[in-house]
A and B are shown apart, each in its own frame.
Chain A
Amino acid sequence: MSTEKEREPLFSAKNLKLLREPLGENNPITVQVLGICSALAVTAKLKPSVVMAISVVVVLSVSNVIVSLFRKSVPPRIRIIFQLVVIAMMVILVDQVLKAFAFEVSKQLSVFVGLIITNCIIMGRLEGFAMANKPWESFLDGVGNAAGYGLILIIVGFFREFLGSGTVFGYPVIDKIGLYNIGYENNGFMILPPMALVTVGIIIWIQRSRNRNLVDKS
């Protein structure tokens, strides 16, 4: 890498890579296999999946920026505590805002918003990226990783709601098509958490069969 002081454009190729990679070849859920537990818990319906995805984008991008701004003044000995405090603060803020402006959704997500704190993706990015990079790069990295997480959440949420309840965003698609009349039944299994794991597994399988580089050599 060159050491010249020339200002990098905001969306240089390198920066765009930060956004793009976590969506595909370095996806936090399907490749790094992080954040699985919340992916299982909130994806029974599409709407909570989307809200959860947005919440994580907000929490991760803002925490990344805050941590990155303070990366030089945080004493290394208490950096993990610092990161935790930042995450916890953001999560509480998101939770409070949801309760005030999206009450129905916050009721559905209930305890899982609070559990964003324990989402390993977030701490992983703070410690692994924001502590060593400038705020703008950290912001992009946060948005990218959270979006990669959210993308999988939404895909899983779509299939679980569609196959399990026969609806999409609460709209009774299968009923409207008239599939029930010819003997189709919702698969109640899809609503249970284990099927989220299977769905994530199928996504991983598809991704790896298309991109051989991701397959472990051992």
Chain B
Amino acid sequence: MKQFSNRYIFIFATVMVAIVALILSAAALLLQPLQQKNAEIEKKRNILASVGVEATEETAENLYDQFITGSFAINSEAERVEGADPFYVDVRKEQKKPLEEQVFPIFEASLEDGSKSYIMPLEGKGLWGPIYGYISIKEDMRTISGVTFDHKSETPGLGAEINEGWFEAQFVDKKLFEDEEFVSILVQKGGAGEDDPHAVDAISGGTITSKALESMLYNCLVNYVEFLKKNSQ
């Protein structure tokens, strides 16, 4: 076998690493704008889905501009905060800050039938990884008009069902408040009563994901309770 000096090995390794680093950073820089665009389109599609507007990759931008008429952020006291663009607020990062420093984005949607909805992002921990979604609330600030969920790595066929239409459809017209008290939505194992305004059916075989979703709803929405109460009167 050919012998290589230590010097050669060092030089070879250094040059190799430098070249690879160059190629990778060039690729990352070139592709970054496209990737960010994709992530934004994905977010817009999800926001639109929560008010029942189906958008494709191509139509998302236009539909978003058409239906989402405003956005703002509030703090935990339900006062509006200026500054950061609500669209770019990273909810997962916000949740790690102390409560007083967190901001909570809200998107306003004006639909074709003239009704208005308020859309809030949701962010939580599932069984295997993060789960997230958007919830839209009608003008009365009490009734859900739609939800959309997604997940990173829940079990296919079980917990992963949270992003299926049948599961999300259950949330429509459920109430977040019992009189003036915030009760959120319960995800009930064994099935929720048909006329129960505060509960939906859990996914059989996906109990942990269902429970995680329930606490995600509560933990995220509890920060909006002040805002919802204030604006309903």
Q: Chain A: residues with CB nearer than 8 A to chain B?
A: 44, 72-78, 81-82, 85, 89, 92-93, 96-97, 99-101, 103-104, 107, 110-111, 164, 188, 191-192
Which residue of chain B lies nearest to A164 when distances are taken between CB atoms in the complex? Answer: B157
Q: Chain B: residues with CB nearer than 8 A to chain A?
A: 1-2, 4, 8-9, 12-13, 16-17, 20, 23-24, 27-28, 31, 34-35, 38-39, 41-42, 57, 152-153, 155-157
Contact partner, B38, options A76, A100, A192, Cβ 8 Å: A100
A76 and B2 CA atoms in complex are apart in Å by 9
How would you classify the secondary structure of chain B's contact residues: helix, strand, loop or mixed?
Answer: helix
Contact B9 A77 (CB under 8 A): yes
Contact partner, B31, options A77, A78, A81, A97, Cβ 8 Å: A97
How would you classify the secondary structure of chain A's contact residues: helix, strand, loop or mixed?
Answer: helix
CB contacts between A and B, total, < 8 Å: 61
A103 and B31 CA atoms in complex are apart in Å by 12
Given known A73-B12, A77-B9, A82-B16, contact A100–B157 (CB-CB < 8 A) = no
Q: List 29 A-B contacts (CB under 8 A).
A: A75-B4, A75-B8, A76-B1, A78-B9, A78-B12, A81-B13, A85-B17, A85-B20, A89-B20, A89-B23, A89-B24, A92-B24, A92-B27, A93-B23, A93-B24, A97-B27, A99-B35, A100-B35, A101-B34, A103-B35, A103-B38, A103-B42, A103-B57, A107-B42, A164-B157, A188-B157, A191-B156, A191-B157, A192-B155
A172 and B95 CA atoms in complex are apart in Å by 40
Q: Using Cβ atoms and an 8 Å threshold, which residues of chain A touch B39? A: 103
